[in-house]
Structure 1
Amino acid sequence: MTLPPNTDVLVDKATGALAGAAVGDALGGAAEGNTPEAIQQRYGGFIEDRAALQRGLAQRPPHRPLPQGRRAHHRRHAHDLRTRRRVRHRPGPPHRPRRRGAPRAAAHGEKRWIPEFESEALLLHRIFLAEKWLVARLHYGHIDPREAGVGNIVNCGATMYAAPIGIVNAGSPEAAYAEAIDVAGAHQSSYGREAAGVYAAAVAEAMRPGASVESVVATALRLAKDGTRAAIAAVTDAARTVADWRTGLADLRRAVEPFDTVGPNYRAPAMDARIPSRTKAIEELPIALGMLVAARGDYRDAVLGSVNYGRDSDSIAVMAGSIAGALGGLAAVPAAWVEDVSAASRIDVTATGPAMAAVARDVWARDAERAAKVADARTAYAGAAA
């Protein structure tokens, strides 16, 4: 897959964001749930590229196949995109996207290729428990989407499908934050919902021409609340002292640890893990932003740092990869990685970017129409007052 340079900045940034997320997901899945030490032991050192994944192939346990084509989070982006393409306007309350998306996930006859299973299967069989909750509550339980996220485990699930919200609100982090907070209510509460808003805002800022890692971090800190803000501040401060992610993994973990509820053993969460709190945060978003700072915005280093950090490495790599991809465009994402992940996943991971950009432009046109009506009304008010 040889892609020509893209002169449409919106398309380029949107493609970089979504392809960057998909590639990060595929790489990160190889390390998920492990410590940095366990990752290095399994792969004979740091995972530096996809060749390192191949070297570890023979060492993998048979019940944990290497996710060469893993695209779980990218699939969520794609489902959100399909909803956007049908309605082509802002979702408003979480009714539209969640009522359209949940039946798709639960559809009994709609099978898709699942790389981990090496076969076609229902999407519902691939998603995690926090997302199965969404399907059960909305599709089977007929719960009001505005309340469906209450009671779910507080995790990064809602954050994972917020990148398209950031793209649609490119250059307007405040609007992205507000919309993501609204939509995420169908899935999450507390700091899980807050992270979705902050991540969407970070993507929206990264989509802005002229944005930088520092402007993304400043945007996140300006909009984040409570423990989420404190965690982002602590981790990004620590990241500024990191010269190389290879020597800074422990520093970033120490910085986020006071805000993390899961505890030191990711596979055996603490008793009070993932419950609502004003003082805690999901681990993934602060670490992703920290990796971006430590990598000085370089896509490759930000994603590889996220992968080798372990724990929820695929989610961290998705967030870091999408923001770095939005900042640098598709050229920031190594072309060989894009080709490998597309082939293994049986999906062109660059295809959603142009489609998402087209949706964004449709949404902006409708925004302009609404703004014109408001301006006309205000002009009329001014005339009536005179």
Structure 2
Amino acid sequence: MTSLLEQKSTGALVGSAVGDAIGGAVEGWTPEAIRERHGGWVTGIVGPWYDDWRTARPIAPYHKGDGHITDDTLMTHALVEVYDELRTHLDAYSIADVLVPKMVNGPRWVPELEADALLLQRVFLAEKWLVARLHYGHVDPREAGVGNIVNCGAAMYMAPVGIANAGDPEGAYAEAIEAAGAHQSSYGREAAAVFAAAVAAAMAPDATATSAVEAALALAKDGTRRAVEAVVAAADGVTDWQQAIPLLRQAIEPYDTVGPDYRDHSLDARRPSRTKAIEELPVALGFVLVSEGDVRRAVLGGTNYGRDADSIASMAGAITGALSGLTGVPADWAAEIATASKTDLEQPGRVMASVALDLRDADARRWARRTDVLENLSR
């Protein structure tokens, strides 16, 4: 690595991929079921929940586990490709005009399908919405997210927005709100922006777990803000991720619409609201605090929490990876996951580091023009 920026950028995206791959093996299950299935806490890469993974869940015939990244990382890497192609700040039209075509054109290796396939063929229903609304429906990109189920679908791939706006949480929040509008609404869109802000804050050279979470909390609105506040309070003084699991679940429960049974949603699940929040982001921020910024502990906490474990562990891994840099991501995990997934996990981080520098230069030119105009106007 040639700079701290590259260290942190690769750390964020490799940390995200590691959390995704390890958490993906236990997605949808309770902590108790996870310990029963694996004979105790999950402490690293494990195999699929079902041996007959191709047919066990026909709606999701994916090879989760064995170090395979999931749609969280595939979408994150696709967003990196958008940044690399445009070299600008993104908006809803960037998603419609560049990301969506990447979902429907050109096969890429999909580890969970063990085949080259369209990205569309791996993403789940809330992400297929992007293609239905924007590619086929020709909906205004700024409004396309309205009507989708409100979940973490947009938040799960917003880490690159934080890197693009490194050190500027407010800028990351604004850019993610705009881009995520093509995909999500309500507290799902809000979570995408708050997550991007946390990554941007974690990219600062002197950032800590506390400063990253505080930056996110300062920008969060409505139920998302209250949910994060509740989780932060529950995490206070706790440094054991095993101890934190029931505490964080209890804190988020009043704001979570899915309900206690993750696979049998409540009738109010994932509907727009100003008082509710997605579960994944606040809990991920809780594990960032509990782990004191340590990638391994944050990922294991998010994994063993269960429920949407891949997204929780991925978000926690992205923020802690940005805090620590690539050297803070367990090298054995990263190497095994890259090999199992047949995916270069570091290259996207290097690309985003170069994009961040290009955007810095463009922003500087824009602000110089504005400063010149205002100076002339104020004479």
TM-score if structure 1 supplies the norm length?
Answer: 0.93
- For residue 96 of structure 1, report the CA deviation from its aligned partner: 1.9
Tell me the number of residue pairs that the alignment of Structure 1 and Structure 2 aligns: 372
2:228 equivalent in structure 1: 232
Q: Which residue of 2 aligns with 1:3?
A: none
In the TM superposition, structure 1's runs of 4+ consecutive aligned residues that sit over 4 Å from their partners are 56-62
1:98 is aligned to 96
How many percent of aligned residue pairs carry the same amino acid?
A: 53
How far did 1:152 drift?
A: 0.2
Classify the secondary structure of the residue corresponding to 1:120.
strand
Equivalent in the alignment of 1:28: 23
Partner in structure 1 of residue 123 of structure 2: 127
| Structure 2: runs of 5 or more not aligned | 57-62
Task: Judge which range, 323-332 or 367-376, deviates more.
Answer: 367-376
Which of the residues 321, 328, 333 maps onto 1:332?
A: 328
Deviation track 1:17-69 (CA, whole Å, cap 9, x = no partner) reads 0011011100010110000010011111100122xx15x77867563544321
- Whether 2:33 is the aligned partner of 1:38: answer yes
Give the Cα separation in 2 of the matches to 1:286 and 1:366.
33
What letter is aligned with 2:338? S
1:243/1:357 CA distance change after superposition, 3 Å = closer
Which is higher, the Rg of structure 1 or of structure 2?
Answer: 1
Q: CA deviation at 1:382?
A: 2.9
Residues 191-236 of structure 1: per-residue CA shift (max 9 Å, x gap) = 0011011101000000011011111111111110111011101111
Cα contact 1:71–1:345 (8 A) shared by 2: no
Letter in 1 for 2:104: A
Residue of 55, 66, 76 corresponding to 1:63 = 55
Q: In structure 1, which of residues 8, 13, 21 is the aligned counterpart of residue 8 of structure 2?
A: 13
Contact 2:26–2:49, Cα closer than 8 Å, also in 1? no
Matches within 5 A, 1:342-353: 342-353=338-349
Q: Does 1:139 align with 2:135?
A: yes
Q: Is the 8 A contact 1:60 1:66 kept in 2?
A: no
Taking a change above 3 Å as real, the CA distance of residues 364 and 121 of structure 1, as seen in their structure-2 partners, is same
Whole-angstrom CA distance in 1 between matches of 2:244 and 2:84: 41
Amino acid at match of 1:186: A
1:86 maps to what in 2?
A: 85
Aligned partner of 2:95: which letter? Answer: P
In the aligned structure 2, how far is the partner of 1:96 from the partner of 1:71?
23
d(CA) in 2 for partners of 1:374, 1:58:
58
How big is the shift at 1:241?
A: 3.8
TM-score by length of 2: 0.95
Aligned pairs for 1:136-175 within 5 A: 136-175=132-171
Report what 1:113 is aligned to.
109
Which range is displaced more, 121-130 or 69-78? 69-78
Residue pair 1:67, 1:115 contacting (<8 A) in 2 also: no
Unpaired runs of 5+ in structure 1? 1-5
Change (3 A) 1:59 1:210: same
Which one of 362, 371, 377 corresponds to residue 375 of structure 1?
A: 371
